[in-house]
Amino acid sequence: MPPHVTVVDHPLIKHKLTLMRRKETSTASFRRLLTEISMLLAYEALRDLKTRDEDIETPLMPMKAPVLDGKKLVLIAILRAGQGILDGMLQIVPSARVGHVGMYRDPKTHMAIEYFYKVPGDLSDRDVVVCDPMLATGNSAVAAIERVKESKPGSLKFVCLLACPEGIKNFHEVHPDVPIVTAAVDNKLNEHGYILPGLGDAGDRLFGTR
């Protein structure tokens, strides 16, 4: 695996991802599984968060105990399927601030076209995680990260469910400094920009739109 790509290799994630891949899996199950895997991905993606010791009292005695330090984390979902990862990660860090980037893929060129951008005001000094389930061509992720970098965040990571070699290459050619955290790396892209073997269209499966 190239540097800066973490595949979260855990039997629970593998099992849940297999359930998500199955074509007969219902929308409700797909949604629940994406939430569950995203909670587990968050655990890995957020392991660098800083802590500071705070004075507290347990029922037995005072102690210094660690709490999250610094400005609130910012989670940014690439619409629309990124919302699924966001929902899971928010269960782990409910106090995170949230941003959205709307990108659609031009069906012919597969290039990302931005139609919406709303993120918390001051990203400097903040840890920012951009999420989207599928790192396929990588074009949406590259464009979203480019946009977020304009605000000079303190740190930046990309979290996805499935990646492929083509997407990782494209992403790291433009953003070699941004680590990717994923549940798996599949074989390749097809000519329509879908990941193989993949799980189909993540947005359609998450929202039941097809």
Catalytic positions are 105, 109, 201, 204
Tokens of 129: 């995680």
Among residues 33, 46, 134, 181, which is the contact residue for ligand URA, using CB under 6 A?
134
Point out which span in 25-33, 147-155, 175-183, 198-206 binds ligand URA (CB under 6 A). Answer: 198-206
Give residue for tokens 């629970």: 12
Residue 76 and residue 99 in contact, taking contact as beta carbons nearer than 8 Å: yes
Q: Does 203 bind ligand URA (CB under 6 A)?
A: yes
Binders of ligand URA among residues 76 to 95 (CB under 6 A) are 81
What is the footprint of ligand URA within residues 104-133 (CB under 6 A)?
A: none
Structure tokens that stand for 22 in this block: 């199955």
Which of 199, 183, 186 lies closest to 23 in space, CA to CA?
A: 199
Q: Which stretch binds ligand URA (CB under 6 A): 41-49, 90-98, 173-181, 199-207?
A: 199-207
Compute how many residues bind ligand URA; rule: CB under 6 A.
Answer: 10
Angle value at C-alpha 172, between 169 and 173, nearest 5 degrees = 80
Residue whose token pair is 């000519």 = 191
Q: Is 166 in the site for ligand URA (CB under 6 A)?
A: no
CA distance 65 to 54: 5
Q: Is 194 in the site for ligand URA (CB under 6 A)?
A: yes
Residues in CB range of 143: below 8 A, 6 or more apart: 103, 112, 114
Segment interacting with ligand URA, rule: CB under 6 A, options 52-60, 95-103, 146-154, 189-197: 189-197
Among 85, 128, 168, 202, binds ligand URA (CB under 6 A): 202
- Six-digit token string for 32: 């629940």
Contact positions vs ligand URA (CB under 6 A) = 81, 134, 136, 193-195, 198, 201-203
